[in-house]
Structure formats: structure tokens, C-alpha cells
Structure 1
């Protein structure tokens, strides 16, 4: 979201598309947190009380899809199962509330800038991790954000990249625990990005709180998305992917964007 106020993306996008795109990302993030946070609190309370409390999930409008998976996880501690269930749940949860919302379809998903951004490979999901004295990037690229099945596959892919390789998970945790997270890309590559607009040598990547306000959100939609039993089939697979290093490709993407932006008067 901070890229939308940086020194590169605003030169490539129509001004009228920037705020709707921010609202699109902001709304999706807010909904996912709103849905996931009470689930984690209930799990923590269940651990403290040494008994499952997941019958309370409907009180927080959490989908009926999640209850059996939380109960199974409470008994077995099977991390892949609960993780995939949460990935499916969060992407289905935002499908009707954001992806199929008429405003976001017309002002974001069906616009040429958004479509071009996806197919040019600029929708990278990155996992910074320590590699000696340097920070490298693992991750993957989102190609069709509107497709819920593609987003679920991306979630599974990121889980596989991060947690099926213990050295990478450890190095990513090192980065996360030792870094102050501001929303600026300077958090992981200060040699290329700067959170200060006045820096003439690096790409301006502002801190989140410096460029976007807090947004209040209503959460009145209490519909349960789980109306199709066939979605259970998506629980059956997790792609096994070796570390997908994005360091070189991301550097190339940034150079391409920078050149494109500088060519615009």
C-alpha cells in the first residue's frame, strides 16, 4: 500500500486509480484480521482452560467451515491442516465482501492498470530472510487476484516455501524479530529504498503511517461463505515447492519500474 505513495508507482498509474486500489487492499486486510483474530484468541483461551471453546466461533461470525478444523488441531496439533483451513477460509471470506463487490470490480479489478500489473509480474508476495549479512527474498507472484482458487494456491505455496524448509523459516523469523516494521521497503532493502522523500539516491518508499490514515471499517456482513461442500477438496493438497528465490527477479522488476517511471514526463 505504501508503494501507491512512493516515487515509482504513482507515475505509472492514473491518479484516479490510486485511492480505490488502496481501499481495495485495506478492506481485504481489515476483513481478514477481523475474522482471524477472534479465532486465535479462542485457541489461546482454549489452551489456558485446557478444553476446546470452538463452539463459540459463531458468536464472532466465523464460518462453520472452521469449527471441525480447530477442534482437530486442538487434539492433534497438526499445523498443515489448520493452516490450509485458515488460508481457504480467509480467501473465501473476502471473495463476496471485496472481490465481488461492485465498486472494487469496476474501479480496481476490471481496470487496465490492475490487469497489466498482474501479468507483468509486479504483484510479488515476498518473504525477506537473513542470508549472512544480506537480506534475500523468497516468495511467489500473484497472477489472477480475482480467482479465489488461485489465491488459495498462492497461500499454500507461501506456506510450503516458508515452513517446509526449516533453515528458511529460521532466517525469516530472524529478520522479522530483529526488524522494526514500518511498511517501507527500506525495512528489508535500505540500500535501494528510503523512507525519506528527500533522498536523491534511493527509491522513495514511505512508512505506512506517514502516507495513509487510519480507516474505520464496518463489519455488518455476517453471512457464512461455506455453502458448497466441494470446497473441502482443497484441503487435500499442499504444493511441495523448494525455496523460490525472488531476489534477482524482484531487483529486475524494480529496475524495470524505475526506468518506466523515469520515462514519463
Structure 2
């Protein structure tokens, strides 16, 4: 009886199982590199550091790369998710959260968001640059990944992509990789568990469904998804898969989102997508009591716009400590996330987001009232 040949994906899974056993308990090691490879590594390191200054430079770098290499879908997904990271950062200096959180709490939240954003970029962007160098030289250079502290999981995946051009598997692998990379370094980090995850306000945001990932496009439209359990690795992976589906399943809508991104440079202010509600200039009058302004995603008659500062005026650049070394890839169960499902996601989020804004405004108003009474 003739044996059925394995599909490329089945062969990849078997290869990854072998690699996981080799990676288990081992650390990424620097081996011999040629003079040419050393120059490549130095160039990649320099460019990554230059573009990893803040959320704005990272977000732009992702989009610039995607426009050069549209076959790398994660670059655009990463760009849009990074925009949301910037909006979350400036929210901490905006209209609502300045009333709900103390200055110490807001600084802790920013440190948490910034560290995660910085870590993902310094892991993902060098992979893109190695791919770019491989294209220039017409041969794969992914064997350089260990010298950049990049997981053997991604080295295996990129080599697979080089041979098979499977954009879905590459995108899923990058989602798995980045969330796995963050798990120990940020999510399980004792500092953030105490200062962020342990805070009532983090749970309050979760309760308010304020963890929306929004993809704006033409005429003030939004699509996206909501994450309810950031500290759940499984939920973050599933969110990534849903976000990819929302963004790439409908090609006509994808073009509209890309067009929006081209015409709206990322500033970090939510004014970027809804200038009818948000402004990066504070229109409030000092000394006047706060009054409710929102109703059904419209400003009430005569109401001033909600303050949403741009990133540059909200936060200074931060010097980050070097990323922790080590390969996360030990458990083969993550390979299951590479499987494609055919579920359709329409991405409807506008109504939910509008309700969230109103609840957040009420929470900010209540908190301010309580602090005045105290």
C-alpha cells in the first residue's frame, strides 16, 4: 500500500517538534559568523535601535516595511495594533484616565505598555530586515536569527516561508512568537503583576471592555475586536487570529484600511480617526465642573471635544534595559495555533466601542465626584 506524502505543513510541524526538544533547556548561542554576516548583523542592530525610540517610530516602521513587502501580512497587522498601543498610551494623559488613575498608576501603566511595545519591535523588526537581506542576496539568511536572540521557532518558520510562500502560517507564527516572547518578560513579570495586573483599575478597564483593538477606515468607520483577558496567553493568541481575519479576509475593506493608514499618519491621538469627538488640544476650561459630553458616539449639543493628546506631548522617550535572553520555544502545543480555521469575522465593534466610551466617561465623572467629596 502506497504511503501518503506529507503536506508541507505536516513536515513543518514534525520539524518544529524536533527543534522544541533541542531548544528545551538551552539558550540561544552565538556561533561563527562570516565578515559579511557580521556587517549585516551590525546594520540590522543599528537600524532597529534607531527606529525603536518610541511608539510613533515603531508604528511607522512597520507600515513602511509593509508597503515595500506586502506579502508580509503581519507587518500591517503589527502596524495597526501598534497604533492602538499608542492610543492606549496617550489615554493615560487624556480626558478620562487622568480622573480615574493616580499619577503613579498612570506611569506604571505606561511603563508596562512601552516595555511590551519596545520588546515586540526589537524582536520582530530584525526578522523583517533579515528577510530583506535574504531577498537582496537571493538566498535565506535566517540562520543569523540566534545572533539576534530570535527563537529557533521563527528560524524554522521563515525557512518554511522562503520555500512555500505561505503567508497565513508566517502570520500565525509571528503572532504566536510575539505573545510567547512577551509572556515571561512582561505578563509574568512580578513588577507588572503587582503594579498593573493587581490593580483594581486594570480590572475596571477589563470590565468596561476598554481593551478594544480598533481598525479605522473610510467615513469614520471602525472594525476590530475586544480582548477581555490580557493575562491569558490563549486569549491573546486567539485575538491575534481574529484580528488577522478581520483585517485580511475582506480584500476590499483591507484596501480601505490601508488607504486610511496612508492618509492618517500615526500621532497617538484618537483624533487621528475621530476628530469629531477627540482633539489633541484640551478644550476644557479650568475650574469648571466636568459635564457629560457623549451620547451615542456624538457630542451633546454645545459640548467640547474629548481631550486626547498626541504621543509626543504626552510622553518622553524611554531608555529600555536590554531584552532578557533565552528562547521561549519549549512546548510543542503552540504548533496547533498554526492551523487555519475558516470562521468569518465581520469585525463589528463600533456600537460596543461607543457604549464603552460612555461608560468610561461615567466612571471618570463618578471618580472625580468621589475625590471631591473626600
Deviation for aligned residue 1:258 = 1.8
User: Which residue of structure 2 lines up, in the alignment, with residue 218 of structure 1?
Assistant: 321
User: Which residue of structure 2 lines up, in the alignment, with residue 198 of structure 1?
Assistant: 283
Structure 2 contact 280–309 (Cα < 8 Å) conserved: yes
Which consecutive unaligned segments of at least 5 residues does structure 2 have?
1-88, 286-303, 370-374
| Aligned residues: CA RMSD | 1.4
Between structure 1 and structure 2, the one with the greater Rg is: 2
Deviation for aligned residue 1:199 = 5.5
Deviation for aligned residue 1:231 = 1.7
User: Which residue of structure 1 lines up, in the alignment, with residue 230 of structure 2?
Assistant: 145
Q: Does 1:31 align with 2:119?
A: yes
Deviation for aligned residue 1:236 = 1.7
Q: Out of 81, 103, 106, which is 1:18 matched to?
A: 106
Q: Does 1:169 align with 2:254?
A: yes
Secondary structure of residue in 1 paired with 2:153: coil
Per-residue CA deviations over 1:53-97 (Å, capped at 9, x if unaligned) read 101111100011111210111122211100000000000001101
Q: Which deviates the most, 192-201 or 25-34?
A: 192-201
Secondary structure of residue in 2 paired with 1:139: strand
Secondary structure of residue in 1 paired with 2:325: coil
Q: Which deviates the most, 195-204 or 72-81?
A: 195-204
Deviation for aligned residue 1:104 = 0.3
So what's the TM-score if we normalise by structure 2? 0.68
Secondary structure of residue in 1 paired with 2:209: coil
User: Which residue of structure 1 lines up, in the alignment, with residue 52 of structure 2?
Assistant: none
Secondary structure of residue in 1 paired with 2:119: helix
Q: Report the Cα distance in structure 2 between the residues aligned to 1:230 and 1:184, rounded to whole angstroms.
A: 39
User: Which residue of structure 1 lines up, in the alignment, with residue 268 of structure 2?
Assistant: 183
Map 1:154-165 to 2 at 5 A: 154-165=239-250
Change (3 A) 1:18 1:109: same
Q: Report the Cα distance in structure 1 between the residues aligned to 2:115 and 2:345, rounded to whole angstroms.
A: 32
Per-residue CA deviations over 1:175-200 (Å, capped at 9, x if unaligned) read 00011210000000000000001356
Q: Report the Cα distance in structure 1 between the residues aligned to 2:183 and 2:322, rounded to whole angstroms.
A: 15
Q: Which deviates the most, 237-246 or 114-123?
A: 237-246
Secondary structure of residue in 1 paired with 2:121: helix
Deviation for aligned residue 1:219 = 2.0
Which consecutive unaligned segments of at least 5 residues does structure 1 have?
none
Map 1:58-73 to 2 at 5 A: 58-73=146-161
Deviation for aligned residue 1:238 = 4.3
Structure 1 contact 157–238 (Cα < 8 Å) conserved: no
Q: Does 1:257 align with 2:360?
A: yes
Secondary structure of residue in 2 paired with 1:197: coil
Structure 1 contact 156–238 (Cα < 8 Å) conserved: no
Secondary structure of residue in 2 paired with 1:146: coil
Structure 1 contact 160–238 (Cα < 8 Å) conserved: no
Structure 2 contact 208–360 (Cα < 8 Å) conserved: no
Per-residue CA deviations over 1:150-199 (Å, capped at 9, x if unaligned) read 11111111001100111221110010001121000000000000000135
Map 1:42-121 to 2 at 5 A: 42-121=130-209
Per-residue CA deviations over 1:213-258 (Å, capped at 9, x if unaligned) read 1011122411100111222122124462332121122122112222
Deviation for aligned residue 1:262 = 2.7
Q: Out of 182, 192, 207, which is 2:310 matched to?
A: 207
Aligned residues: 262
Q: Report the Cα distance in structure 1 between the residues aligned to 2:272 and 2:148, rounded to whole angstroms.
A: 34
Per-residue CA deviations over 1:85-138 (Å, capped at 9, x if unaligned) read 0000000001101111111000101211101211221110111111xxx12111
